[in-house]
Amino acid sequence: MSGESDGKRRAVAQGTFDLIHPGHVHYLREAAATANELHVIVARSSNVSHKADPVLSARQRRDVVGAIDAVDEAHLGHESDIFVPIERIDPDVIVLGYDQHHDEAALSAALADRGIDCEIDRAGPRDPKYEEELLSTGKIVDRVLERRG
């Protein structure tokens, strides 16, 4: 059963969201535009294996994401099973960030195996608005180290 059965189309966005930057806000606004309600799953630090460990705690990252106007509710990811919050939220669409590492076909198959019936969409990129604008947490960290390290 999807969110549309209660009259609301639900979207899920997910990610690490470490050191929020304009690229994150762009992603969340695009995800929110696909539905009436946007739920965001913030990865726990222990589940971040594809890049450097987050600078901020999972709870702090969740609280900051939850403060963004486009977000209706921010959730912490599950410690061991990334599909648990998706099952609980029951989305109509999962919106991936344009540069997230997820394989859409593999994700679709895993959702089907779990009996989760929802679309998968991908947000578009956000081009920098000016030369020095940073749209990457890694680049923000590099700049901090360069200027203050």
Q: Which residues are annotated as part of the binding site for ATP? A: 16-17, 21-24, 99
Cβ proximity of 71 and 28 under 8 Å: yes
Asked whether the beta carbons of 39 and 62 are under 8 A apart, the reply is: no
Residue type, 74: A
CA distance 63 to 75: 9
With CA atoms as reference, report the closest residue to 135 among 16, 40, 20: 20
Q: Which two tokens stand for residue 110?
A: 């895993």
The answer to whether residues 148 and 140 touch, using CB atoms and an 8 Å cutoff, is no
Identify the CA nearest to 13 among candidates 78, 61, 80, 71.
71
CB of 37 within 8 A of CB of 3?
yes
